[in-house]
Amino acid sequence: MKEQEPVVFVIDDDRMIRDGLQSLIRSVGLRVETFPSAQEFLSMKRPDVPACLILDVRMPGLSGLDLQLKLRDGGIPIPIIFITGHGDIPMSVRAMKEGAHEFLTKPVRGQDLLDAVQKAIVSDRALRQERQEIGEIRGRFESLTPREIEVLNLVVAGLLNKQIADQLGMSELTVKTHRAHVMEKTQADSLAQLVRMAERLKASARK
Amino acid sequence: MPSNPETTVKREFFRYGLAIGLVFLALLASLALQGSIGNPFWFFFSAAVILSTWLGGTGPGWLAVFCSALAVTYYFTPPLRSFAVAPSEFPYFVTFIACEVGVNQLISWRRRTEDSLRQARDELEVRVTERTAELKNANDALVRQMAEQKRTEDTLQTTRAELARAARITTIGELTASIAHEVNQPLAAVVANADACVAWLSRETPDLFEARSAAERATQGATRASEVIARIRSLITKATPGKSHVHINQIIEQTILIAESQAARNHVTIALNLVPDLPVVLGDSIQLQQVILNLVMNGIEAMTSVTDRPKLLTLRSAREDKEQIRVSVQDSGIGLNEEVMSRLFEPFFTTRMQGMGMGLSISRSIIEAHGGRLWGESNGSGGATFQFTLPGGDR
């Protein structure tokens, strides 16, 4: 799989700041797309690549914090770096609570911003990787029959074949067959790996 | 008139008894005097009827008439000692009865009239008393209301003054926040573009085109910041409110009233040395008051740590020359060192913990807007003197 080129989105209503940030980020070889308002960002089709969002808190129309909530509610996970001219504590606490990646005050030092961008992209890349793996695991697990899922749950709970057979009212041989199917379908090399995959699925569902 | 039944019965008994008693007395008197002065029963029985009616009322009056008629029939009309009346005596007897009835009616009528008159007078008296009380209450309420209104007006006056002060402070606060944002925005652009410029230049092969355009944008940002500041400055100059002819001594005295409590709290003595008959100044009294108050407060502040000499604040007004007046505020505080002296009028420069550092800077702008000068200097003997000149307005 070819490494996807990451993109940095910049939303700021001030053209001069937008251009400055764009130039700064481009200078380190990153792709940049700028938007004068949150609405325009939302109406654009975003490429499916690692990304991060640099967001001015105070903007006419949809504010930075509003956009953050909208993205979260819309299930669009993207790390956000907030920039504010008046970094009051309650506002930054709120933004961080909602999962903001970073909170910087204007005027932002170029290096601080670039560091934050790099970190955000690394984090997004890892998250995307994680999401992709989870998606694959889920796909495999979804091919299991209801009976196989029953067997899987008991195997993962640490029961022996004999105990599973007793509990589900089937022969030990049948349990073994189901179990082999489960291992095959989920592409698990070992019992330990199967347990790990099941745990990851559960953890992602809880989120 | 409310009364219990027992006393009512007693009184009725007394009234009717009185009627019978009076008729009896009249009979005795008539019989006693019958021989000597003809037939006096007319007079005595009439008197009995009059008194009974007068004292007892209509009922006892009627009883007296009835008893008199009986007595006269029995004792005085032939045939005597009999209740019969001879036909010849009939007109005479009827006249007597009619007379008695007439007297009874007349007296009853008089009594009733008098009673209702008395009642009316009593009622009137009660009503007058009530009205007087009402009037007194109304008067008291009015007095209270007036006192309250006075208090309200006083409070209103104080509140209005406080409001004006609060409004001024709020305006400064809002103005500051707004200025901060307006200036910070282009500065952020300058920093971002300057950083970008450096970044383009630091690449392995510097990108001069990108660096140049970033540098140009940085310049634009800086220009915009200075434009914002120029706009604010023109705003302040324009905002100088309508000027009027003011007496500087009056303004000094008013300002001292405001500062007095602060001075007292800090054990500072304020001395006034004002030259009378100074030319009037064309200016904004509120702004000038602000300047003087600011200098006075600074002076008081400068003396807080002084213990080895009296804390004395002297305000002077004087004629500077033909066309100008001068006001000075002298303290015996810590004085001004060279470093402080050189930065005295810089905005946001302050030597205090919670000072904003705008006082002297604003004061100087105000005085300059009035066509005068404001400066500060150290006293030889410790402390500092701040003074300003203003052109006289009566040229």
For chain A, domains (ranges, CATH) are 7-131 (3.40.50.2300), 143-206 (1.10.10.10)
Mean pLDDT in residue range B127-148: 93
Q: State the DSSP string of chain A.
A: -PPPPPEEEEE-S-HHHHHHHHHHHHHTT-EEEEESSHHHHHHSPPPSS-EEEEEESS-SSS-HHHHHHHHHHTT----EEEEESS--HHHHHHHHHTT-SEEEESSPPHHHHHHHHHHHHHHHHHHHHHHHHHHHHHHHHHTS-HHHHHHHHHHHTT--HHHHHHHHTS-HHHHHHHHHHHHHHTT-SSHHHHHHHHHHHHHHHH-
Q: Is residue B121 very low, low, confident or very high in pLDDT (cuts 50, 70, 90)?
A: very high
| pLDDT tens profile B384-395 | 999 999 988 654
Characterize B37-64 residue by residue with b for buried, 16 or more Cβ atoms within 10 angstroms of its Cβ, and e for exposed.
eeebbbebbbbbbbbbbebbbbebbbbb
**Contact assignment for B192 to A26 by CB distance below 8 Å:** no
- CB crowding B105-116: b at 16 or more within 10 Å, else e: eebbeebeeeee
Give pLDDT, residue B137: 93
Q: For residues A92 and A82, is the Cβ–Cβ distance under 8 A?
A: yes
The per-residue pLDDT for B356 is: 58
Using a CB-CB cut-off of 8 Å, the residues of chain A touching B195 are 20, 24, 109-111, 113
Mean pLDDT, rounded, for B34-63 = 81
Interface residue of B174, B195, B201 to substitute, partner A, most A CBs within 10 Å = B195
Q: Which of B188, B200, B220 sits opposite A107 (nearest CB)?
A: B188
Q: What is the DSSP letter of B392?
A: B
The band of B354, judged by pLDDT with boundaries at 50, 70 and 90, is low
Residue of B nearest to A27 (CA): B200
Question: Which positions in chain B touch A20 (Cβ < 8 Å)?
Answer: 189, 191-193, 195-196, 214, 217-218, 221
The mean pLDDT value of chain B amounts to 83
Range with the largest mean pLDDT of A127-136, B129-138, B230-239, B347-356:
B129-138
* Cα–Cα dist A79/A55, whole Å: 10
Instruction: Judge whether B208 is closer than 8 Å to chain A, CB to CB.
Output: no
Decide if B215 touches A, using CB distance below 8 A.
no
Instruction: Using the predicted structure, report yes or no on whether residue B238 has a pLDDT greater than 60.
Output: no
- The answer to whether A36 contacts chain B (CB < 8 Å) is no
Which residues contact residue B266 at a Cβ distance below 8 angstroms, ignoring those fewer than 6 apart? B300, B303, B304, B311
pLDDT exceeds cutoff 60 at B216: yes
Sequence length of chain B is 395
Q: Where are the domains of chain B?
A: 5-130, 160-238, 244-391
How many residues can be counted in chain A?
207
CATH 3.40.50.300: does it fit domain B244-391? no
Average pLDDT over residues B333-340: 81
Is residue B173 very low, low, confident or very high in pLDDT (cuts 50, 70, 90)? low
**Cα–Cα distance, B16 to A158 (Å, whole number):** 124
Q: Would the CB atoms of B193 and A20 count as touching at under 8 Å? A: yes
Answer whether B181 sits within 8 Å of A85, measured CB to CB: yes
DSSP state of B373: E
Task: Give the pLDDT score at A180.
Answer: 87
Q: Is the pLDDT of residue B13 over 50?
A: yes
* Residue of B195, B203, B221 lying closest to A109 (CB–CB): B195
Quote the pLDDT of residue B395.
45
The residue-averaged pLDDT of B321-334 equals: 89
Cross-chain Cβ contact B185/A17 below 8 Å: yes
Q: What is the mean pLDDT of residues B92-109?
A: 86
Counting other chains too, the contacts that A189-193 makes at CB distance below 8 Å and 24 or more residues apart are: A191/A155
Name the phi and psi angles at A150, rounded to 5: -60, -50
In this predicted structure, which of A4-13, B85-94, B213-222 has the lowest mean pLDDT? B85-94
For B153-182, what is the mean pLDDT?
Answer: 71
Residue numbers in B near A110 (CB within 8 A): 191-192, 194-196, 198-199
Choice between A191 and B243, residue whose per-residue pLDDT is larger? A191
Give yes or no for B236 touching A (CB within 8 A): no
Interchain contact B304–A (C-beta under 8 A): no
Amino acid occupying residue B216: E
- DSSP codes, B230-292: HHHHHHHHHT-PPPEEE-HHHHHHHHHHHHHHHHHHTT-EEEEEE-SSPPPEEE-HHHHHHHH
Over range B227-250, report the average pLDDT: 75
Smallest CA–CA distance from B208 into chain A, residue: A27
The number of C-beta contacts closer than 8 angstroms across A and B is 85
Q: What is the pLDDT of residue B83?
A: 80
Give A82's strand partners: A55, A103
| B174 pLDDT higher than 70 | no
**What is the tens place of the pLDDT at every residue in A138-154?**
888 888 888 888 888 88
Rounded to a whole number of angstroms, the distance from the CA of A86 to the nearest CA of chain B is 8
B207 touches chain A (CB under 8 A): yes
Q: Region B23-51: what's the mean pLDDT?
A: 80
What is the arrangement of strands in the sheet containing A51-56, beginning at the earlier edge strand?
Answer: A31-35, A7-11, A51-56, A80-84, A102-105
- Extract the residue ranges of chain A whose pLDDT is less than 70: 1-3, 86-88, 206-207
Closest-CA residue of chain A to B224 = A16
For residue A103 the two structure tokens come to: 């909170």
Q: Which chain A residues contact residue B181 at CB under 8 A?
A: 85-86
What's the distance, Cα to Cα, between the start and end of chain A in Å? Answer: 28
Higher-confidence position of A47 and B171: A47
Question: Which residue of B184, B185, B187, B198 is the best one to mutate when testing the A interface, meaning the one whose CB has the most A CBs within 10 A?
Answer: B185
pLDDT of B170 over the 70 cut? no
Q: Provide the pLDDT for residue A2.
A: 47
Residue B283 confidence (pLDDT)? 86
What pLDDT is attached to residue A116?
A: 93
Report the share of chain B in percent with pLDDT over 90: 24
